[in-house]
């Protein structure tokens, strides 16, 4: 026969176990609590009236195009990664396709009346179409812009930036090529009063990723092209069309995130670059863009273009800590 103190201890333990089984663990779905939609455009309809468009070129002539709600299935292109219902309309952009001789050119687009700050991210589906004879063109995504100017660059000499009619630039923006023919296929820029600064690792704004030594000659990470690790492992061919680059002739998901003062650029979930934002560009509009930094023209020119689809801006909201609750008076004893 058990003694009374032992029996009482067992009763208390059993009561606590019962109470614990009745507790409710409150954990909202992570996705619903993590991101709050602030802006989106899937380009299913012509939304050109809702966007501000700025263009630039080495000569000052208009050598860029923007086609809203373009049906890219006409080019044999499948639906974008995040398109619902298999729709195939998006934003088609071109640069340096219209004049001979060719010239560096760029285009920047901003949703009218938008301003974002704090913790948020920009995501978009991107595709760079590659012609038979390629040209090194780039899709640009940026954050914290004023939305009043074109942001692009011209490389007259590989690794240097020189825009003949240079204009003031702003914001933080990132560029990726399609076929991987440039020395620097992944680029990070910051605006300045004269022209964009290529700062893949500018010492004033961040440091190189592991294994990429800083090149003081042109303020970049050394050899940050596609033919090296980790790009070759991340974007191996096959299944990717071009070794080390994810968006050449296929869809990729690009993301620019600002979180607690750190800006991170991802493609298909891989961190391409991350750095503390020590610039003065901490809030503003988003930018979609396209540029050809070189004067060479693709052949056929009509096959050289970029597509952007399913643009979203979302506020990043910290997920709440799980709360364990109970209603019985004994719950206080358990806690």
Domains present along the chain, CATH in parentheses: 30-329 (2.60.120.560)
pLDDT of 181 > 80? The answer is no
For position 109, what pLDDT does the model report?
98
- For the segment 22-48, the average pLDDT, to the nearest whole number, is 74
Lowest mean pLDDT among 146-150, 190-194, 259-263: 190-194
- For the segment 13-25, the average pLDDT, to the nearest whole number, is 48
**What percentage of the chain has pLDDT greater than the value 70?**
70
| pLDDT band of 112, cuts 50, 70, 90 | very high
- For the segment 65-81, the average pLDDT, to the nearest whole number, is 97
pLDDT of 202 > 60? The answer is no
Q: Tens digits of per-residue pLDDT, 271-329? A: 888 888 888 899 999 999 999 988 888 788 889 999 999 999 999 998 765 555 444 44
- For the segment 137-161, the average pLDDT, to the nearest whole number, is 80
For position 332, what pLDDT does the model report?
37
Q: Tens digits of per-residue pLDDT, 22-31? A: 444 444 444 4
| Of 185 and 117, more confident | 117
3-state secondary structure the chain: CCCHHHHHHHHHHHHHHHHHHHCEEECCCHHHHHEEEEEEECCCCCCHHHEEEEEEECCCCCCEEEEEEEEHHHHCCCCCCCCHHHCCEEEEEEECCCCCCCCCEEEEEEECCCCECCCEEEEEEEEEECCCECCCCEEEEEEEECCCCCCCCCCCCCCCCCCCCCCCCCCEEEEEECCCCCCCCEEEEECCCCCCEECCCCCCCCCCCCCCCEECCCCEECCCCCCCCCHHHHCCCCCCCECCECCECCCEEEEEEEECCEEEEEECCEEEEEEECCCCCCCEEEEEEEEECCCCCCECHHHCEEEEEEEEEEEECCCCCCEEECCCCHHHHHC
């Amino acid at each position: 026969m058990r003694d009374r103190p032992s029996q009482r201890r067992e009763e208390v333990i059993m009561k606590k176990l019962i109470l614990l089984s009745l507790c409710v663990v409150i954990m909202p779905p992570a996705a619903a609590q993590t991101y709050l939609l602030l802006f989106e455009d899937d380009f299913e309809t012509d939304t050109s009236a809702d966007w501000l468009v700025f263009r630039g070129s080495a000569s000052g002539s208009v050598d860029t195009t923007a086609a809203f709600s373009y049906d890219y299935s006409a080019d044999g292109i499948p639906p974008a990664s995040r398109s619902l219902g298999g729709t195939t309309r998006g934003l088609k952009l071109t640069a340096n396709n219209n004049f001979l001789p060719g010239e560096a050119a760029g285009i920047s687009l901003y949703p009218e009346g938008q301003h974002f700050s704090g913790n948020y991210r920009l995501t978009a589906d991107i595709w760079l179409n590659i012609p038979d004879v390629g040209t090194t063109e780039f899709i640009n995504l940026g954050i914290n812009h004023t939305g009043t100017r074109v942001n692009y660059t011209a490389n007259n000499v590989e690794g240097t930036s020189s825009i003949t009619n240079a204009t003031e630039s702003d914001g933080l923006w990132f560029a990726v090529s399609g076929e991987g023919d440039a020395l620097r296929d992944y680029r990070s820029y910051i605006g300045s009063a004269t022209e964009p600064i290529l700062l893949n690792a500018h010492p004033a704004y961040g440091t190189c990723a592991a294994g990429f030594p800083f090149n003081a000659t042109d303020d970049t990470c050394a050899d940050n092209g596609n033919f090296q690790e980790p790009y070759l492992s991340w974007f191996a061919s096959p299944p990717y069309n071009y070794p080390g680059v994810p968006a050449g002739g296929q869809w990729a998901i690009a993301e620019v995130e600002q979180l607690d003062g750190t800006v991170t650029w991802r493609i298909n979930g891989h961190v391409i670059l991350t750095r503390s934002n020590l610039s003065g560009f901490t809030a503003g509009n988003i930018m979609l863009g396209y540029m050809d930094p070189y004067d060479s023209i693709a052949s056929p020119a009509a096959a050289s273009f970029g597509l952007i689809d399913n643009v979203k801006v979302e506020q990043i909201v910290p997920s709440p800590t799980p709360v364990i609750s109970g209603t019985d008076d004994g719950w206080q004893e358990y806690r």
